[in-house]
Amino acid sequence: MKALMRIELKKMSLKGQIRGMVVANMIIFFLLTTIFVTEGVPEIEAFEIVDVIIKAVFLIWQSVLISKLIVSEFKERTIQQLCTYPLNRSNVMSAKVGLIFVIMLGFIWVTQLIQHSLFSGLSLILPEFNYALNLQIIGIIALTSLFTVMVGMLPIAVGLWMKSTIAPVITSFLIISVLGGSFGDASLDLLNNLIGMLMMGAVGMAFAGFVIRDVLKKDLIV
């Protein structure tokens, strides 16, 4: 499995993905700093805005990787080359999905750490900007980020079902519209959001697994 993941990793260029994460962090910080300084949002809304923006960026990013590494290979029939090699097709698909999951989870955790640390530091420079983290918030951010990556697997099912590389990206925007509305509602308790994300994440993983298994059973005829 590790060997297959290394092969898939070469296709996506890890260095390019890391450069993309650096650029994304710069853009996110600049955009949010501009909003916070000019608009002066309350502390609870500041946390939610940072969290939602990060999740939105990485849900879209994850959908692009899904389109490139999984859906496009089925649509263009390049995945049929698996039939000419002594490889278990399920293992290959598991390697693709696993690689996307691990990279996106690592990237979103690193970005959450960077952004929330930066804004905590910014609050020391700007006294009127209150942004103090605590262990409970950090734990919730880590868990909801994990569940977000799980939810981000749902576009696999949509893309393979519709045989479209654009469908996963569109699906990610729809997911963002749902999550954005949830996290943007300050009246909702964080625990409820946590449970909701867990449920959505489980659904995303289940649907992705079901569709992948169904496609593989059809002997890759798309």
* pLDDT at position 191: 41
Instruction: Compute the distance between CA of residue 216 and CA of residue 213 in angstroms, rounded to an integer.
Output: 5
Reported for 172-179, long-range contacts at CB under 8 A and 24+ positions apart, including other chains, are: 172/59, 172/60, 172/62, 172/63, 173/60, 175/59, 175/151, 176/55, 176/56, 176/59, 176/60, 179/52, 179/55, 179/56, 179/59, 179/148, 179/151
pTM of the model: 0.83
Judge whether 43 and 131 are in contact, CB under 8 Å. Answer: yes
Task: Check residue 101 and give its pLDDT.
Answer: 92
Kindly list the domain boundaries of the chain, sorted by start residue.
Answer: 2-217
pLDDT tens-digit series, residues 21-33? 999 999 999 888 8
* pLDDT beneath 70, residues of the chain: 1, 39-45, 76-89, 126-129, 180-193, 215-216, 218-222
